[in-house]
Amino acid sequence: GFALSEPFDEMVVRRIPEKLVRIINRDSFGLPTDPAENVAGVALMAMLESSEADFGVEVEITKHLKPGSGIGSSAASSSGAVVAANRLFGDRFSKTELIQFAMEGERLASGARHADNVAPCILGGFTLVRSTEPLDIVALAFPTLFAAIIHPQIEIKTADARAILPKDVPLRTATAQWGNLGALVAGLAQGDFGLISRSMEDLIVEPVRQWLIPKFEAVKTASLAAGALGGGISGAGPSIFMLCK
């Protein structure tokens, strides 16, 4: 995963005397204010439980990442909440611990406790999640890159996009995909734009999910013709990302 400098969510987090989490939404997306049903809320609840604090947390959220856009909207809220709240706790929690808390928000959003998006949100740059049990995250070196994001005005639920993925992958396909991943990491580390470009071929997820996104193939073809290094479906979609020099 990699972090975007924008768009981003804005949050104001403050202490409250009650030992609970309170959510105030300052946008028009109509997300839950019940902390048990809000990704920022469950992340903060996990943090409070671990801290054994004698106070609670109130968070005002103004989202600029549209929910269901595929560019890490739930991760932005989960990560932003715990990073900000950590200041209230005197920065007692490490970034690895903050990722663990934010992953609870991802569990609520997608049904899977994954770090694909919250790790780059909290660490910045490109990150490789080697394992989630136990959590093992590698921060990757990378050259200066720009990410062009196209967001079709449709919504795709992450859980639905996960449901259509293949349960089994042929060994030949898996081997080719591992080769692409290893080469992408090497290309990022070496600043080799040609290798980055050749490596950005998704043989497993994109062939299945692209049908959820109207005109996906046309957009990708036009982007590559315009000089993009490569790209594909961002998260579960429908956003499409292209890395560029």
Residue of 106, 127, 155, 173 marked catalytic: 106
**Would you call 106 a catalytic residue per the annotation?**
yes
Structure tokens at 190: 């070496």
Residue of 158, 173, 175, 217 marked catalytic: 158
* Separation of alpha carbons 108 and 63, rounded Å: 18
Could you tell me where the DSSP H helices lie in 11-115? 39-51, 73-88, 95-110
Where b means 16+ CB within 10 Å and e means fewer, 163-198 reads: eeeeeeeeeeeeeebeebeebbbebbeeeebebbbe
Q: Are 98 and 70 in contact (CB under 8 A)?
A: no
* Separation of alpha carbons 144 and 146, rounded Å: 7
Q: Are 189 and 180 in contact (CB under 8 A)?
A: no
| Amino acid (1-letter code) at residue 229 | L
Structure tokens at 95: 């970034």
**Would you call 158 a catalytic residue per the annotation?**
yes
Picking from 2, 144, 119, the residue whose alpha carbon sits closest to that of residue 71 is 2
The residues annotated as belonging to the active site are 106, 158
